[in-house]
Amino acid sequence: MTTDEDKREAANAAVEEIADGMLVGLGTGSTAAFAIHRLGERVRAGLRVRAVATSLRSFEQARAAGIAMLDFADVAATDLAIDGTDEIDARLYAIKGAGGAMLREKIVAESAARMIVIADGSKRVAAIGAAKLPVEVLPFARSFVARRLADLGATVTLRGGDAAPFRTDQDNLVLDCRFAAFDDPLALDATLAAIPGVLGHGLFLREIDSAIICQQGQVTRIDR
């Protein structure tokens, strides 16, 4: 089986958990795109759901697939969020945000009664920390936040580089951080959240209820 087939398998298994009448949060990235595709098929077969998206890209894909899309600004709570990840471990700690959507992804995940992460086997790790941790930053605070992150021991890179910096859907910047050691993710979460100018980051430590991981066609499920 290819990686894409594993992603599709994990995505399809999660979409099976969507029931009639649910309000669903749709994630971002290639694995989430498989889930949106499958949900579109189920909607066209008669499933009645509404959804919100964690990125403009996913919103457009879902709308084109025939899914009734809402503006999340009008939504206080969702039933189920389904999203991909860059790393996930057995504690259901994850690093997300390689696609730059981690701020909206975190908000939608928090809004959800349940969140399922979907992934191919390459995303499963013994303990998160090898992936770059993306931090979304108000452009005004870019240098100040970069210094604070470096003081925490991170090697910090502006995503896209100085000449053509990547912009999030909110028009903010992303600082990608590599930490030599990643001993206490909960403490790091709190520290990052306390830096003025940090609008969000890719550490997901409390939001995920289940992970559905497919490796070589073999589906594994981890529940909190």
- Point out which residues bind ligand 5RP (CB under 6 A): 27-32, 83-86, 96-102, 105
- 21 appears as a binding residue in the annotation: no
User: What dihedral do alpha carbons 101, 166, 131, 217 form, nearest 10°?
Assistant: 60
* Torsional class of 147: left (φ above 0), alpha (ψ -120 to 50), beta (otherwise): alpha
Given the residues 5, 9, 17, 105, the one annotated as active site: 105
- Closest by CA to 171, choosing from 143, 219, 205, 139, is 139
- Residue 97 marked ligand-binding: yes
| Nearer CB in complex with ligand 5RP: 27/40 | 27
13 marked as part of a ligand binding site: no
C-alpha 78/C-alpha 223 separation (Å) is: 19
**Burial (CB count <10 Å: 0-12, 13-18, 19+), residue 94:** buried
Report whether 132 belongs to an annotated binding site.
no
Cβ distance to ligand 5RP smaller for residue 52 or 143: 52
105 is catalytic: yes
Question: What's the start-to-end Cα distance of the chain, in Å?
Answer: 28
Least gap, CB of 20 to ligand 5RP (angstroms): 26
3 state DSSP class of 145: helix
Shortest Å, Cβ 174 to ligand 5RP: 10
Nearer to ligand 5RP, 57 or 144 (CB): 57
Q: Is 96 annotated as a binding residue?
A: yes
| C-beta of 150 vs 193, nearer to ligand 5RP | 193
Burial bucket for residue 80 (CB in 10 Å: 0-12, 13-18, 19+) = buried
CB 44 within 8 A of CB 80: no
Q: Least separation, in Å, of the C-beta of 109 and ligand 5RP?
A: 10
Nearest-approach distance from CB 88 to ligand 5RP, in angstroms: 10
User: Which sequence positions are flagged as catalytic?
Assistant: 105
Residues of each annotated binding site: 28-31, 83-86, 96-99, 123
Annotated binding site for substrate: 28-31, 83-86, 96-99, 123
